[in-house]
Amino acid sequence: MIRYQLLSRDGEARRGRLETPHGVLETPVFMPVGTAATVKTLSPDELRGLGAGIILGNTYHLYLRPGHERIARLGGLHRFMSWGGATLTDSGGFQVFSLGEGKGKGEGGAAPKGSLVKIVEEGVEFRSHLDGARHFLSPEKAIEVQEALGADVIMAFDECPPSLADRAYHERSLARTQRWLDRCRAAWSEAEARKADAGPGARTSCSLFGIAQGGLFPDLRRRAVEEAAALDLPGYALGGYAVGEEPAQMWEGVARDAPLLPPDKPRYLMGVGTPEDLLAGIAAGVDMFDCVLPTRCARNGLLFTRRGRLTIRNARWADDPRPPDPECGCYTCRTFSRAYLRHLFRAGELLGLRLNTLHNLHHYLELMAEARRAIEERRFESFRRERLLAWSAGPE
Amino acid sequence: MIRYQLLSRDGEARRGRLETPHGVLETPVFMPVGTAATVKTLSPDELRGLGAGIILGNTYHLYLRPGHERIARLGGLHRFMSWGGATLTDSGGFQVFSLGEGKGKGEGGAAPKGSLVKIVEEGVEFRSHLDGARHFLSPEKAIEVQEALGADVIMAFDECPPSLADRAYHERSLARTQRWLDRCRAAWSEAEARKADAGPGARTSCSLFGIAQGGLFPDLRRRAVEEAAALDLPGYALGGYAVGEEPAQMWEGVARDAPLLPPDKPRYLMGVGTPEDLLAGIAAGVDMFDCVLPTRCARNGLLFTRRGRLTIRNARWADDPRPPDPECGCYTCRTFSRAYLRHLFRAGELLGLRLNTLHNLHHYLELMAEARRAIEERRFESFRRERLLAWSAGPE
């Protein structure tokens, strides 16, 4: 199991420590997304070198390919991908529900459109985006799959409706999600008890996080948090943000909802976000973040720098011998020029995608490290203001 | 300039040392191909870690994108790609002539079909495979471009006809290639003299290698070698092998031609080949090899092992916890299972292409290191027999 310790606060911002079966995480922490048991383009050694302590795997993708039972036979997710740090898996729900919405496939994101999704009280029937085969995911199945993968943190199976869906839909959906949460908890307790009976040498114990939904409706969010908190789970997440609303709406919602979460448990804001979003989340008291943005943007040639976003393919950099971010200490910035990275990107060279990914994750992880120091030194708000100002300047 | 020292022999096989402005190479040496100023998927640090001392760049590709003048402005090829080891560039001729043959585009290989190529005494007119623009490459231009790139070894501009073209074609082509060699030498001497005049701080001096063509006609090959040798160039290559003939024909030709090359100069067999080909070349007295095979096969999921070729996508490996090659010490084999590598390959994950590339290059470079030891210990032929036997077994 995991154990959270709150070390200090600065306003609502929390500086903490999360012990997991695979290492201690300093929080607030950013978790790179490793959808298909790989953080795209990077090796486990590189991730460790970047200071990543925990990465995320996507249950939907791993369930379909290579299959959770296969991964279990091969020793679980950690051993399968040769990752010694901690892991977190989502429940698969987000991807499955997205099958109906056609958000486009890929890393952590939704599977492609046109697949059938049918929600009933029991769970969700869907078709694989790989071969069209029918599958059924339920709270019990989502827990079974995640227990087989064996991540340090596993997530409850919930529905994540679009923020802007109407109140009636959110109420119906939330009530079902809360019933599913009870079923997830029961299935998880049983699975953990079976592992405990199996004695030493058994798999990692998995810590279940509950997820509070409720869209942009403050009373629904409050109800969701209270009901989930009553289950006394190892941790809690806010789901259903960054799914269609404006950033300002999200920031307002997170600022309102995060402080409602149990203070003695880690707080996770799912699927968020930009560097600006991370600082807003930290200010609200969030401890854990994940997002495909740094890795996906890297593969699209967008680099995050201390002076904002830099589009590497821009002709402006064709002869520029400077690194992408002169203030950055990552391997990419220590070693290569904008001109070279632009060349690699235009030539479709895979090394370019790697070097961009390395840089963007370094930027995110370094931002979190600096935010942690700022909280410790009780200057988080001035740190946040400085960074927002610098980002708005744009690269020279 | 470079300097070659013959250390010892075992039959025709040579153990030598090649000093370059960017490090000392132990020969026989294999040179990974870095077509567009990157050995596809790998970082310079990884190449160095693999023990690579010299890599190859393709003049045709770099001339078109990002352009040799741009690379020169950015400090030359070494600095552009942040590679501290030695480099060799081809003349661009092979790719340009291949434009007319449609061998398919890609790493080190030919540009795509359908482009116009017109050969005249002055040089070759061709259209870019990128945008269809007209370009003209001549011996003088090929030297100018390579001098701008600034590799440690540069190659003469030649025509590389298909091995199986008729004798009349080979005679005409060879005569022209020999006239072009004279022009290359003159252009190179002038360029090097200009650099010497520019004094210290000027670019790396580039060592020109002559190329002997002549197809499968022993007398043409002999004439080509003799005429080239008379120019007293820093090194010599056999071109026009592995371009359509059977392996046995190539091995016979190389065994006959390589010993004709000047013994006090490095001998380079261009674009060759399989592990079996390398051992045949070494047995014939070749010192330097390059080939896209290990890197391109890696990206197609074909791994070279001590027990021959392993197709990673094969369902047979789906649950196999063993590394691709249990006798291999590379990062891939030390860290990952066949099951995981198969998963990465099937999922189209870039990490899989990297790990496969790392392994295959390790296999090639390790093979060369073992061949060098075998020559030193005067047991090269038995080493060769053992390896051929082991490769023929196939992976367990």
ipTM of the complex: 0.96
Q: Count of domains in chain A?
A: 2
- B175 lies within 8 A of chain A by CB: no
In chain A, the percentage of residues whose pLDDT exceeds 70 is 96
Distance of CA A257 to CAs A4, A5, A223, B184, Å? 19, 20, 11, 74
Domain residue limits at A373: 298-393
If asked whether residues A130 and A214 sit together in one domain, one would say yes
pLDDT of residue B203: 73
Q: pLDDT tier at A99 (50, 70, 90 boundaries)? A: confident
Mean pLDDT of A107-134: 78
Q: What is the pLDDT of residues B366-386, one digit of tens each?
A: 999 999 999 999 999 999 999
Q: How many CB atoms lie within 10 A of CB B100?
A: 18
DSSP-derived letter for residue B204 is: P
pLDDT of residue B101: 66
In chain B, the percentage of residues whose pLDDT exceeds 90 is 89
Lowest mean pLDDT among A11-25, A87-101, B62-76: A87-101
- Token pair of A292 as six digits: 């495909």
Cβ-Cβ contacts under 8 Å, A37 against chain B: 340, 343
pLDDT of residue A202: 64
pLDDT of residue B149: 98
Q: In angstroms, rounded to a whole number, what is the distance separating the alpha carbons of residues A354 and B283?
A: 39
Q: Please tell me which of the candidates B75, B319, B354 has its beta carbon nearest to residue A74.
A: B319
Asked whether the beta carbons of residue A350 and residue B347 sit closer than 8 angstroms, the reply is no
Q: B350-375 b/e with 16+ CB inside 10 Å = b?
A: bbbbbbbbbbbbbbbbbbbeebbebb
Distance of CA A135 to CAs A64, A118, A377, Å? 9, 11, 50
pLDDT of residue B199: 78
If asked whether residues A171 and A199 sit together in one domain, one would say yes
> Which residues share a beta bridge with B17?
B5, B26
Q: In angstroms, rounded to a whole number, what is the distance separating the alpha carbons of residues A265 and B121?
A: 79
Q: pLDDT tier at A100 (50, 70, 90 boundaries)? A: confident
End position of a domain, from candidates A291, A311, A332: A291
Q: What is the pLDDT of residues B321-370, one digit of tens each?
A: 999 999 999 999 999 999 999 999 999 999 999 999 999 999 999 999 99
- At A48 the three-state DSSP class reads helix
If asked whether residues A282 and A302 sit together in one domain, one would say no
- Token pair of A353 as six digits: 């995608």
pLDDT of residue B116: 74
If asked whether residues A69 and A154 sit together in one domain, one would say yes
Q: How many CA atoms lie within 13 A of A335 on its CB side?
A: 18
Residue B102 pLDDT greater than 50, yes or no? no
Is A290 noted as a catalytic residue in this protein? Answer: yes
Q: In angstroms, rounded to a whole number, what is the distance separating the alpha carbons of residues B198 and B202?
A: 6
If asked whether residues B274 and B306 sit together in one domain, one would say no
Mean pLDDT of A294-316: 98
Residue B270 pLDDT greater than 80, yes or no? yes
Question: A197: exposed, middle or buried (C-beta count within 10 Å: 0-12, 13-18, 19+)?
Answer: exposed
Residue B110 pLDDT greater than 50, yes or no? no
Residue A89 pLDDT greater than 90, yes or no? yes
Q: What is the pLDDT of residues A191-200, one digit of tens each?
A: 999 998 887 7
Q: pLDDT tier at A112 (50, 70, 90 boundaries)? A: very low
Domain with residue A158: its CATH number is: 3.20.20.105
- A339 lies within 8 A of chain B by CB: yes
Is B158 noted as a catalytic residue in this protein? Answer: no
Q: How far is A318 from chain B (nearest CA, A)?
A: 8
pLDDT of residue A107: 54
> Which pTM was predicted?
0.96
If asked whether residues A279 and A355 sit together in one domain, one would say no
Q: In angstroms, rounded to a whole number, what is the distance separating the alpha carbons of residues A129 and A94?
A: 14
If asked whether residues B181 and B280 sit together in one domain, one would say yes
Distance of CA B280 to CAs A291, B11, B183, B222, B272, Å? 52, 12, 33, 20, 10
Q: How far is B363 from chain A (nearest CA, A)?
A: 20
Q: What is the pLDDT of residues A40-83, one digit of tens each?
A: 999 999 999 999 999 999 999 999 999 999 999 999 999 999 99
Q: How many CB atoms lie within 10 A of CB A46?
A: 18
Q: In angstroms, rounded to a whole number, what is the distance separating the alpha carbons of residues A227 and A77?
A: 31
- Spatial CB neighbours of A275, under 8 Å, sequence gap ≥ 6: A304, A363, A364, A367, A387, A391
Question: B194: exposed, middle or buried (C-beta count within 10 Å: 0-12, 13-18, 19+)?
Answer: exposed
pLDDT of residue A96: 86
- Token pair of B384 as six digits: 């060769």
Determine how β-strand B13-20 pairs with β-strand B23-27. Answer: antiparallel
Is residue B125 within 8 A of residue B99, CB to CB? The reply is no
Cβ-Cβ contacts under 8 Å, A106 against chain B: none
If asked whether residues A237 and A303 sit together in one domain, one would say no
End position of a domain, from candidates B256, B291, B326: B291
Among candidate residues B152, B158, B290, B325, the one labeled active-site is B290
Mean pLDDT of A97-109: 58
- Spatial CB neighbours of A208, under 8 Å, sequence gap ≥ 6: A143, A154, A155, A156, A184, A185, A188, A233, A234
Mean pLDDT of A315-323: 98
Q: What is the pLDDT of residues B155-210, one digit of tens each?
A: 999 999 988 899 999 999 999 999 999 999 999 999 999 998 887 766 779 999 99
Q: Please tell me which of the candidates B38, B45, B82 has its beta carbon nearest to residue A349.
A: B38
pLDDT of residue A241: 96
If asked whether residues B256 and B341 sit together in one domain, one would say no
If asked whether residues A281 and A339 sit together in one domain, one would say no
- B128 lies within 8 A of chain A by CB: no
Is residue A312 within 8 A of residue A353, CB to CB? The reply is no
Is residue A60 within 8 A of residue A96, CB to CB? The reply is yes
Find where tokens 């290059």 sit: B361
Nearest to B359 by CA among B396, B321, B324: B324
End position of a domain, from candidates A244, A262, A291: A291
Residue A86 pLDDT greater than 80, yes or no? yes
DSSP-derived letter for residue A205 is: P
If asked whether residues A303 and A192 sit together in one domain, one would say no
Mean pLDDT of A13-37: 98
If asked whether residues B229 and B349 sit together in one domain, one would say no
Q: What is the pLDDT of residues A341-375, one digit of tens each?
A: 999 999 999 999 999 999 999 999 999 999 999 99
Nearest to A206 by CA among A180, A228, A224, A184: A184
Q: Please tell me which of the candidates B40, B347, B355 has its beta carbon nearest to residue A350.
A: B40
Mean pLDDT of A143-165: 95
Nearest to A239 by CA among A226, A257, A266: A257
